[in-house]
Structure 1
Amino acid sequence: GRSKADGKWQKISTIPDRWEINWQDFKFLLKFSDFKNIGIFPEQASNWEWLRSALRNPERSRRTEDYPLRVLNLFAYTGAASVVCAKFGAEVTHVDSVKSINSWAKENAKLNAVSEEQIRFLEDDVLKFVMREAKRGNKYDGIIMDPPRFGHGIKGEIWKLAFDLPKLVFESQKILSLDPVFFLINAYTADLSSIALKNLLENVTKKFGGKIESGELVLKEKSAGRLLPSGIFARWQR
């Protein structure tokens, strides 16, 4: 747990300051952070598995040595999704506004033998970055975003999910390639529903066809077997 009085972790058992966790063929570094998280959100495994499925088919992803799938991961946190995409051959641009988090993500990439050429780590405000990429004419075959309810950019920019997410999704359509493969939005908020996320995706992907699914991410309680709501998502796949 986390003490409300002094903002410090209170360990109830002997736990190292850093440790690793395995998920399928991947390893991720966990540690006690200053912002109450330990480095992964386990309910995200559903999204990681979905990304694996989207990238597993070489014909679907057009994955070749000359043309790797280009993936943009926004609000990329400690990089689990970036690593999953890179291990399946994608060229990933990983964007987060927190320097220490990007350093953590680099450690996860190293743990999984992902080369520096496969993931480009950037410390930036995501909306400004997307708008600059559009002006540069850069395109991506897959986009992932996991925006917070509220946050700050590297220069103090204010992010409010309910107001800024629609604009971010709208601007992101300008950097989708002519033949995109997937678009994933994840959120932790009561301000929007999964249906709202689905509607946002429909607006920018309907011309490509494909399929959209949306719903809640859950964790299953071990003792009683109850499903605990842990987030919402909308996912489009060609």
Structure 2
Amino acid sequence: MLIADKWKDYELIDTGNGEKLERWGDYTLRRPDPQAIWPLLNEWSLWKNPHAHYHRSSEGGGHWENKKKMPQKWTIKYKDLSFYIKPTGFKHTGLFPEQAANWDWIIEKIQKANRPIKVLNLFAYTGGATVASAYGGAEEVCHVDASKGMVTWAKENIELSNLSHKKVRFIVDDVIKFVNREIRRGRKYDAIIMDPPSYGRGPSGEVWKIEDELYKFIELCMDVLSDDPLFVLVNSYTSGFSPSVIENILKLSVGKKYKGKIYSGEIGLPVTKTNLVLPCGIYGRWEK
């Protein structure tokens, strides 16, 4: 398991009873987490009085209960990278802190490549990996997401991290349509990052189901990989998926075309109060 344990502005304070207690900079949030199924031994004071508590509804969705005064959005840093944090209607904050383990790897791979690297970030959300790629020195980063709001947020994160001078293309589009267009244009990328959802809809109502689409989509992406690619990184938060599923798909796609190393695993966050590690998702990597 990769553990994102280099944070200073973020802390996973405690977990249990299907919830987690977190510090995001100066503010504490209490949110549901489906992995934290162990009991909470002591609902101590901070659990009862965070800045905000997300209550899940039995009918789906939920709402934030603000308990203390806090801004609508604020900034946190990871090393030299900066991000806006904003509690959203779907319990999220605009950042998955466990991905810092991947950001460090992305930065190191690009810096050690000693050649210009073009990166394609698909299902790119608010751009954590886009910011990391630009910071690492990528010649060009292409950020693609179907949500206009998330792409705008990613632009803000690039500016916040003082990376506006870097060449970053921001695209609001269905990723499958975009990749097909790039193939027709003959565009190639040296690194591909993707974080496909379990289920989603594109801007024109296109339906995405990961179990039906992931293998076909990674196969499609082979046609935009350069002749000398650096890496392919696939993240997933789909419950029930083993890391080996992504590893097998990479072996049957990237591994058939390029020589390199393929491996997979979990990513997690250390829990301060209990010294446990909260599993947060899975990844698969191909690297040269």
Q: TM-score, normalised by structure 2?
A: 0.77
Name the CA distance, whole Å, in 2 between partners of 1:24 and 1:93: 23
1:191 Cα offset (Å) = 4.0
Map residues 63-74 of structure 1 onto 2, 5 A cutoff: 63=116, 69-74=117-122
Q: Return the match for 1:157 from 206, 230, 237.
A: 206
Number of aligned residue pairs: 231
Change (3 A) 1:116 1:102: farther
Q: Deviations along 1:102-147, whole A, 9 cap, x unmatched? A: 1111100100122265110000001111122112211110000001
Unmatched runs of 5 consecutive residues or more in structure 2: 1-52
Aligned residue runs from structure 1 range 29-48, under 5 A: 29-48=84-103
TM-superposed CA distance for 1:205, in Å, is: 2.4
Q: Does 1:166 align with 2:221?
A: no
Map of 1:224 onto structure 2: 274
Please state if 1:78 is matched with 2:133: no
Following superposition, the deviation at residue 58 of structure 1 comes to: 4.1
SS of 2:269 mapped into structure 1: strand
The question of whether the paired residues in 1 share the 8 Å contact of 2:247 and 2:262 is answered with yes
Bigger proportion of residues as helix: 1
Using the TM superposition, give the Cα deviation of residue 12 of structure 1 relative to its aligned residue in structure 2, in angstroms: 3.1
181, 194, 212: which one pairs with 2:230? 181
Does the CA-based 8 Å contact 2:119-2:141 persist in structure 1?
yes
* CA-CA distance at 1:204 after TM superposition: 2.5
Gaps of 5+ in 1: 64-68
Percent identity (aligned): 44
Pairing 1:56–2:115 present: no
Looking at structure 1, the residues matched to 218 and 245 of structure 2 have their Cα atoms a distance apart, in angstroms, of 12
Superposition map of 1:106-125 within 5 A: 106-115=155-164, 118-125=167-174
Hey, what's the Cα distance between the residues in 1 that align with 2:208 and 2:165?
A: 29
Larger radius of gyration: 2
CA distance in 2: counterparts of 1:42 and 1:12, whole angstroms: 23
RMSD: 1.5
The aligned residue for residue 233 of structure 1 is 283
Q: Could you say which residue in structure 1 is the equivalent of 2:265?
A: 215
TM-score by length of structure 1 reads 0.92
1:24 maps to which of 67, 79, 99: 79
Stretch deviating more after TM superposition (17-26 or 110-119): 110-119
- Do 1:162 and 1:192's aligned partners in 2 also have CA atoms closer than 8 Å? no
Shift of 1:34: 2.6
Deviates more, 1:115-124 or 1:82-91: 115-124
* Cα deviation digits, residues 123-175 of structure 1 (max 9, x gap): 00011111221122111100000011111100011111111111110100111
- Aligned residue for 2:217, secondary structure, equals helix
Residue type matched to 1:204 in 2? S
Secondary structure (helix, strand or coil) at the match of 2:162 reads coil
Say whether the 8 Å CA contact 1:194–1:233 is kept in structure 2: yes
Q: 1:197-212 counterparts in 2 under 5 A?
A: 197-206=246-255, 207-212=257-262
SS at 1:103 equivalent: helix
The residue that corresponds to 1:66 in the other structure is none
The answer as to whether partners of 1:22 and 1:28 remain within 8 angstroms in 2 is yes
- Between Structure 1 and Structure 2, the one with more strand by share is 2
